[in-house]
A and B are shown apart, each in its own frame.
Chain A
Amino acid sequence: MTQPPLTLEAQDRRFAAWLLAPALLVLLLTTTAPLIYLGWNSLQQLNFSMPWLRGFAGLGNYVAMGSDPRFWNSLWLTLVYTSTTVCLQVVIGLSFALLVLRMPRGQGVIRVALILPIVLAPVVVGLFWRTLVLSPDFGLVDMVTRALGLGSHNWLGDPDLALISVIAIHTWQWTPFAFLVLLASLATLPPDVYEAARLDRASAWQRFRHITLPLVRPAIIMVVILRMMTALSAFAAIYAATGGGPGSATEILNLYAYRTSFVELNLGYGSALAMVLLSITLGVSWLMFRLRRSRS
């Protein structure tokens, strides 16, 4: 007897393969191949400003990183930046969501107001804050502080204030995302659980801690994951606002890699820095992925 035709499952698999292949191919070509090349370059000495210095460097770039204070500074800044903005986004977003949850009207107006920061380009937001909001003397913030008698400050030019300002910008742009997601999640919570808790004489704080928080936790985790990814690779807004400065005051790892590669033209070292950032990002996302799966 001749070979029986393909089973249904086998046909399904073949059809799926045909549908998936183009996209996978594109992904492999556009992302994986370049990343391998990035790794290869990180092992090279590649400096466009000193083209005579070429050759295999092995782990030399990585070793140099270890004793590079600017690198450790950027790691530290990345940590502070990411954790602060994500915490702020969740706390502010959740608080506002709780406050506004039961509002009968006006949710439409709020939605319109909040969708604007999300759809704006980060570079525009950065430039905008740099000029209209944080400019000494003429910016919104300075106008307010001057009116309040707190004087004028160089919000982006002062090394002590720059990081705060930059965190504020990122938080401003992305808190609406946290707010909208958490609001949607809160809206799906069943009201009868609260009725029961009320009957059990639970205070507002207890109701929040023991009912709301656990139920909304999956949404919070998801928001944290997403916002963390964005914060780790945040570039345009900081670049527009401070360029990484003053000095290295806002030079998160992202920006350090960029500056090294495209301002100082040391692409070998820049590649190594980017590899470190890549590992951190992949590590965090893998952790988060596992965290999500273990909870659901």
Chain B
Amino acid sequence: MSQTSAHKPGAVARRLLMLIAAACLVVIWAFPVVWGFLTSLKTERDVLAWPPVLFFTPTLDNYRAVLEGNRSILPNLWSSLVVTTSATVITMLFAVPAAYAMARLKMRFKRTTGFYVLATQMLPPVGLIIPYYIVLQKIGGLDSYAGITAIYLTFSLPFAIWLMITYFEDIPFEMEEAALLDRAGRLRTLWYVILPQVRGGMAVTTIFVFLNAWNEFLFAVVLGGNTVRPVTVAMYNFISVEQTQWALLSAAAMLAMAPVILIGLAAQRHIVKGLTVGAVKGGGRR
């Protein structure tokens, strides 16, 4: 955008507008999270003070209360970890070969399978939770890791397949032909030649699958129980009909979201790229 000196006042106004817009963005979307973090460091009394206390002595009591003792969410963090990791690993194991098959190899019914995978991605979760509940209740599979992981696959698998397809499609066909001529065979071609090239894509996909699984609520609250109780459900420990324990809730929320926030910050470039890639080439849950 070239600016001549004759446009100087317009340029200044434009720059100002830009800065205001940027400031709005940061304030509107980052401030609530920051506010929540600050709340987690306040005593319950400071939280409810009016006018709001800007300077306060921070305390780690909330975090301690949320991690130790009988209100500890540590078992919930563990529950989340088990469910999320199993769902992610199983998803990637199944999705990567499937995506390769759909992206690269000539297949009959390619279009139908493509639409099938896309359609399963779009299913409303409430439509799945009802039959799962009925069945699991009959066979006594409620509150089991196997049942929960199975239903987690319903949103992870199609999404992972779809995203990985976009990455596989970027590899030129001649690469495989060269490998075949080099006597690699199809399986070794996949392992030695193709997969190393989609490492980045696999990392991004894994991140998204992990995030989605960690944040899942509906499936966890309906099909879980006392054994399987991810952090998303554990938030409700701090809310009761009488009162909300604000500071404790904030601390618990911060801990529950810590892995997800850390991954988000660390991999932000990749996530943004993944969002835009997925958005341009195909559907996605997020």
Contact = CB atoms under 8 A, between A and B. Distances in A.
Interface of A is mostly: helix
Nearest to A23: B98
Nearest to A22: B94
A89 to B, nearest CB: 13
B201 interface: no
A154 interface: no
Interface string A123-152: 110011101110101101001000000000
A51 B126 CA distance: 22
A235 B115 contact: no
A115 B101 contact: no
B264 A119 contact: yes
Contacts of A1: none
Contacts of A274: 124, 126-127, 130
Residue of B24, B124, B257 ringed by the most chain A CB atoms within 10 A: B124
Contacts of B235: 123-124, 127, 240
Contact of A222 (B1, B154, B280): B280
A115 B272 contact: yes
A128 B39 CA distance: 11
Contacts of A96: 21, 24-25
Given A27-B157, A112-B265, A219 B29 contact: no
Interface of B is mostly: helix
Contacts of B132: 34
A219 B279 contact: yes
B interface residue count range (under 10 / 10 to 19 / 20 to 34 / 35 or more): 35 or more
A34 B223 CA distance: 14
A184 B278 CA distance: 12
Contact of A143 (B52, B131, B263, B285): B52
Interface stretch (A56-64, A65-73, A159-167, A225-233): A225-233
Interface residues of A, number: 97
A128 B36 contact: yes
A38 B127 contact: yes
B257 A23 contact: no
Given A115-B272, A267-B134, A285-B119, A120 B283 contact: no
Interface stretch (B57-65, B70-78, B105-113): B105-113
A106 B123 contact: no
Contact of B275 (A181, A254, A257, A277): A181
A114 B286 CA distance: 14
A114 B269 CA distance: 12
B85 interface: no
B157 A282 contact: no
A35 B265 contact: no
A9 B180 CA distance: 13
A157 interface: no
Interface string B67-106: 0000000000000000000000000001101101110011
B30 interface: yes
B271 to A, nearest CB: 6
Contact of B217 (A111, A116, A179, A236): A236
Given A116-B261, A118-B264, A127 B124 contact: no
A122 B50 CA distance: 28
Contacts of B227: none
A121 B214 contact: yes
Given A41-B130, A176-B29, A138 B48 contact: yes
Nearest to A133: B32
A128 B29 CA distance: 13
B222 A110 contact: no
Residue of A116, A117, A289 ringed by the most chain B CB atoms within 10 A: A116
Interface in B118-148: 118-120, 122-135
A120 B260 contact: yes
Given A35-B127, A131-B246, A233-B126, 18 more contacts: A41-B130, A102-B1, A113-B25, A116-B30, A121-B217, A123-B232, A127-B239, A138-B50, A180-B276, A226-B279, A230-B286, A257-B126, A261-B130, A270-B130, A271-B131, A277-B127, A278-B127, A285-B119
6 contacts: A16-B102, A109-B26, A185-B276, A233-B124, A261-B129, A282-B119
